Chain A
Amino acid sequence: MTPHDDELGADLRPDGTGAADARAASAAETHPDELRLDALEPEDLDGHSIDELADYLDAGMLPADPSIDDSAACQNALAAIIRLRQSSLGSLEAAAAQEPPADESWIGGVLANISLEARAGRDVPLRAESPTERPVMTEGAIRSLVRSAGDVVPGVVIARCSLDGDVVRLGAPVRVTVELAVRAGSPIPDAADRVRSAVAAVLAEQTDLVVEAVDVRVRDLLPALPDDHGSTHDHGSTHDQDGA
């Protein structure tokens, strides 16, 4: 150990009580300029390999290993690994910013190649007008109805919709679960009520599902829309909120 290393060691004495995160953070801040370029072999790292150190970091620096935590050389190597990790994703994001936006005709090509059937779900029977008919509506089409009905409620975006029950059997009771995102500033209970009744109404009108219940879950809060986009929602807000 060189006198220089001793100096570092004195600065680096860990208190031994910190959590792994705190130790990792302090490692990231310790003497970033002091890592010797050739010092990456176990003989330079107080007997530890750089890979052991990377694995130690992956394990959240747990269980704490004093032979690493108390080694100035290891702390510096850990700091270098942390810096590398931090810039790995950052540099990918920076490289992404240099890429052109997706080409419109290319996007069209992707969309033309996805299979709508892949997301169509089960076939839900409708009531037949004549004995020879077997009309069905796909689950995907029903979810689309639900989205359209829910999305027009001011301040609401439908996130997901699921139909629970034996939907392939006509007349079987079905529970509909709708997950919502609500814009900040919209009263949540009111939004949920409106979605529930809008969804129940559209399903009653356009399907033959026997809807036992419409469960509404608010799972996301969205930032309020900027004013210039507000006009799309004015259609809804002109109807007075007379519910409840």
Chain B
Amino acid sequence: MPHQSLVDLDDAVLAGRSSDGDVRAFEVLIRRYTPLLRAYARRTLGSTDELDDVVQETFITAWGRLDALEDGAKVKSWLMRILSRKCIDRIRARRDHDDVTELEVAAPRDDAPDRVAEARSREEALETALAELPEQQRRCWLMKEVLEYRYEDIAEELDLPVSTVRGLLSRARKNMIRLMEAWR
């Protein structure tokens, strides 16, 4: 029986087949979205050797919960949301194991605009600007602007009051706007 090639199928078909238990379809989704998930995890966790693990956990969790995915066409953002949760778990675990108080810079460094200005593309500039944000601001920013979470969702995921999330996002927005203005 000839095996259909599944690589060019759209997300909805692949997610449907995966939900029905088709491992080959799920494998195509893994290949398709691993780089994106790694990039997202890298932004949230930094470049650590945990990236492979956290992406692997994401796919394993996703496989078990495919029933909950109502619209297969949205599998990409659904995977990113699962990943985001895994990343937050990792950050919490780090804190628990680490007694050292996190030294968090409250604002981008003074030379941050110069770094952003050197970027060769808008995407690279944004990447650089994002890297300059204090960790909590960056996390909130990603959840709001990339995952399209509501303030309440972010607060729940991060276990913070909504007012804190609003404050962090406010600072993140101003920092990002200022930094990105340096690029143009």
Q: What 0/1 pattern do residues 77 to 107 of A give for CB contact below 8 A with B?
A: 1001101110111111111111111110011
Residues of A within 8 A of B3 (CB): 232
Q: Is the CB of B107 closer than 8 A to any CB of chain A? A: no
Residues of A within 8 A of B160 (CB): none
Q: Nearest chain A CB to B87's CB is how many angstroms away?
A: 14
Range class of the B interface residue count? 35 or more
Count residues of A near B (Cβ-Cβ below 8 Å). 67
Is there contact, CB below 8 Å, between B145 and A85?
yes
Is there contact, CB below 8 Å, between B4 and A92?
no
- Describe B's contact surface by its main secondary structure: helix
Q: Is the CB of B60 closer than 8 A to any CB of chain A? A: yes
Is there contact, CB below 8 Å, between A151 and B4?
yes
Residues of B that sit less than 8 Å from A by CB:
1-6, 8-10, 12-13, 16-23, 26-27, 30-31, 34-36, 38-40, 42-43, 52, 56, 59-60, 63-64, 66, 121-127, 130, 141, 145-146, 166, 169-170, 173-174, 176-178, 180-182, 184
Give 20 pairs: A residue, B residue, CB < 8 Å, sorted on A: A32-B184, A50-B174, A50-B177, A51-B166, A51-B170, A80-B177, A84-B126, A90-B122, A90-B123, A91-B123, A94-B121, A102-B34, A107-B31, A110-B30, A110-B60, A114-B64, A152-B2, A157-B4, A160-B17, A232-B4
Known contacts A51-B170, A111-B26, A232-B4, then 20 further A-B pairs from the complex at CB < 8 Å, ordered by chain A residue: A33-B184, A35-B177, A50-B174, A51-B169, A81-B173, A84-B126, A84-B176, A88-B146, A89-B146, A91-B126, A94-B123, A99-B38, A107-B30, A111-B27, A118-B63, A119-B21, A144-B20, A144-B22, A152-B2, A233-B2
